[in-house]
Amino acid sequence: MPILDRSRLRALSFSVALPALLLPGLAGAQTAPVTQLDAVSITGTRSEKPIGEETGTVTVIQEKDLQRRSVHRPQDAVRYEPGVNVGNQPTRAGQGAYTIRGIGGNRVRVQVDGVKLPDYPASNPAYTRDTVDFDSLKRLEILRGPGSALYGSDALGGVVSYVTKDPSDYLNEVGRDWYVGGRANYDSADKSFGEGATAAGRVGAVEGLLNYTRRDGHEVKNKGALKANPQDYSSDNLLGKLQVGPKDNRFRLTGEYLQRETDTNVVTDRSATVLDSKGEDLTRRFRISLDHTYARPLGFIDQIDWKAYYTRASREEVTKQQRLTSGVPAYRFSDLDFTQDIYGGEVQAKSSATWFGMKHAFTYGVSLDETKTERPRNRYERNLRTGAVTQSFSGGPGVPPELFPNKTFPDTKTVQAGAYVQDEITTGAWTILPAVRFDYYKLTPSPDQAYANTNYQNFVVREFSDTAVSPKLGATYKIDDRFTLFGQYAHGFRAPPYDDANIGFTNGPSRYEILPNANLKPEESDGVEAGLRGKFKDGSSFAVSGFYNAYTDFIESTMIGTRQGITQYQSRNVSKATIWGFEARGEYRFLPDWGLIGSLAYAHGTNDDTDRPLDNVAPLILRAGLTYDHPTQNWGASVTATHYAEKSRVSDPSYFKVPSATTLDLAGYWDVSEQIGFTAGVYNLFDKKYYNYLDVSGFQSNRADMERYTQPGRTFMVGLTARW
């Protein structure tokens, strides 16, 4: 094998070019254009702060960037974000979960306006948290690394924050007390059309907003010989807001409703006994919240914010199959449901003081939420010769029949309460940020007859509770008005989830069963990050950082033995892992209207129990591009090249090693007038066949349907916006 193959040469050329983007010339224009590091985030510290002043890595994807790329899927939103990935499941579920630096799923907290998004059982990969309408957002914020010091459980790997638009965002755009707008876009990747309308108004101290979006589309196309299962979907999203009072004493009522219907021809279900399989899925998410900001001095308190909320997520997964049962034609109907209700509230206050010449900015608060989770399952089969209907299905030798309706885990109530405090200390060029949070959680199962129908072994489920303490210590040092050093240590944890702790289920035909485990400990992480940022008068900026994250007590399904030929599994705290790596991104404004952009993300993961690679860590990804924005900001364009390195480091030599690939994207925008704007983009311009590694992680290299998991070939998006 040659020392440097073609893939490595490409990666090397990107690496050599990247420093030129990250270390721009120090001489700049007389004005100081806004840089990438000036974007404001609230996720990193629970207070508005430019991301260039954060002690860790936080990125903000602004509304204009989402709009100019006609984003309507999470995968498109983070297309150019180093260290952040979203997978896609081409058989039925579609867009998957966020993965941040190799940690994903329910180990990443996802929230909308500070209200956490309901999760889904990890035991069913067909479920997804892709339940947010991007047309309603003003920004998307991503915190990399443990975030439990401020957000508690589930922020083990990071935090994804969606921030929806307020009435003032539209009214300030047009400079008057009313706004009406519309939008439409098309994405050839899934042949989807999106249409939306917005109305906002102000009367005195009262502001209101209604935002509606409709989208109709199909399965995401791929470049492989095997296509994704045929699919049709339609979604509706409604966002409403009512705000009363001035900015320093404001009440805000928010309502959200999303509904998505998906019909799938599940070709991948077909076999000698399954002649035809159709899926009908209905996903709903609802939220109502009331929050209040009081930013007038109240004793030693400078500002106090509180919110109360209720959110509900549900998924109805219906499968209709034509089958042969013992050689006899049959019709099988399955309805697998999931519902999660979250009631919660929080109070947060801010205070400031100066002690011994050091400025202190305190942020502190308490939160409480109660989550109720249910997962009922129902099934019946009709003999098409006799008309006989049964809800009892053979369990195989030594196993009683499986009876429906049933539940694989009992209805569960989870209570989580937390208290946190953070102190931002500023002295000279230093800013030091210690924070700590205390969490209490309690899990209470309520087994019933439906649970007993699958738990014929009478596995015992128990109530349990525990506590966790999550510290954080960060700092920044401003070398001069251009360069800033930053670094932090942060601890994260995730409470044992309901399905791992309480699942009790026997699958007779497949000869396995899963046992509950009330003795699970929280998953924990300890993360260290350090880096350097720079921003310059010509609008150039860069950020480079390295990180090291250690994870303990990962919960995994583990084979623990056999019983009468049935393999037994149980969720246990078994894994220790480390993930380290580095990231870089920058923009060099070599002319006032022209910029070179670049980014890099590399992570190296190891299962410390086995000393083998972690398979959920993506390979090296490099990006470089050129941007142009006309001085009037009425039109602009960009070209971006992305190189995906080969994934050769896998835990098993039989696993698929994803080949390297390089793609090229073109995008542009044109605001014809103050009222009308167009956007367009062509992605994977040269129609390359490539894989998103997370979609095929852990697949055998000889897997027959590998081609089904290829990414889309050449696609395009176009969009139109109108406002008055």
> Containing H/E element for 628?
strand 621-629
Q: How confident is the model at residue 4, as a pLDDT?
A: 36
- With tokens 């941007």, the residue in question is 627
Q: How confident is the model at residue 459, as a pLDDT?
A: 83
Which pair of structure tokens corresponds to residue 389?
Answer: 């209907």
Q: How confident is the model at residue 11, as a pLDDT?
A: 42
3-class SS string, 293-306: EECCCECCECEEEE
Residue 300 lies in a domain: no
Amino acid identity at 168: S
Residue 587 lies in a domain: yes
CB-CB contact of 723 with 672 (8 Å)? no
β-sheet bridge partners, residue 682 = 666, 716
Give the CB-side neighbour count of residue 437, counting CA atoms within 13 A.
29
Residues of the chain below pLDDT 70 = 1-32, 122-127
State how many domains the chain has.
Answer: 1
Host domain of residue 477: 6-280+308-723
Question: In terms of Cα–Cα distance, which of 222, 264, 160 is closest to 692?
Answer: 222
Residue 302 lies in a domain: no
Amino acid identity at 437: R
Parallel, antiparallel or unpaired: strands 137-144 and 249-265? unpaired
Which pair of structure tokens corresponds to residue 53?
Answer: 């002043």
> In this structure, what CATH number is given to the domain that contains residue 703?
2.40.170.20
Backbone dihedral angles phi then psi of residue 200, each to the nearest 5 degrees: -140, 150
Instruction: For the chain, give the mean pLDDT.
Output: 92
CB-CB contact of 115 with 151 (8 Å)? no
Predicted TM-score of the model (pTM): 0.93
Q: How confident is the model at residue 8, as a pLDDT?
A: 41
pLDDT tens, residue by residue, 496-530: 998 888 888 887 777 888 899 988 999 999 999 99
> Containing H/E element for 22?
helix 6-22
What is the DSSP code string of 189-209?
TTTEEEEEEEEEEEETTEEEE
Q: How confident is the model at residue 32, as a pLDDT?
A: 54
CB 374: neighbour CB atoms within 10 A?
17
Q: How confident is the model at residue 34, as a pLDDT?
A: 73
What is the Rg, in whole angstroms, of the alpha carbon atoms belonging to the chain? Answer: 26
Rounded CA-CA distance 693/86 in Å is: 10
What is the DSSP code string of 611-627?
TEE-TTS---EEEEEEE
3-class SS string, 432-464: EEEEEEEEEEEEEEECCHHHHCCCCCCCCCCCE
What is the DSSP code string of 560-597?
EEEETTEEEEEEEEEEEEEEEEEEEEEEEEEETTEEEE
- With tokens 């920044």, the residue in question is 476
CB within 8 A of 388, min separation 6: which ones?
A: 382
Question: In terms of Cα–Cα distance, which of 115, 117, 88, 140 is closest to 285?
Answer: 117
Rounded CA-CA distance 604/618 in Å is: 9
Residue 290 lies in a domain: no
Residue 712 lies in a domain: yes
Residue 500 lies in a domain: yes
Q: What angle do CA 712, 718, 724 make, to 5 degrees?
A: 150
Rounded CA-CA distance 269/275 in Å is: 9
Residue 340 lies in a domain: yes
Residue 408, sorted as left (phi over 0), alpha (psi -120 to 50) or beta, turns out to be alpha
Rounded CA-CA distance 156/617 in Å is: 15
Q: How confident is the model at residue 111, as a pLDDT?
A: 96
Rounded CA-CA distance 78/610 in Å is: 32
Question: In terms of Cα–Cα distance, which of 408, 443, 234 is closest to 338?
Answer: 408
CB within 8 A of 535, min separation 6: which ones?
A: 35, 37, 38, 52, 482, 541, 542
Rounded CA-CA distance 342/582 in Å is: 36
Omega into 653 within 30° of 0, i.e. cis?
Answer: no
Which pair of structure tokens corresponds to residue 218?
Answer: 């199909």
CB 480: neighbour CB atoms within 10 A?
8
Question: In terms of Cα–Cα distance, which of 320, 317, 250, 257 is closest to 286?
Answer: 257
Which pair of structure tokens corresponds to residue 580?
Answer: 């380290």
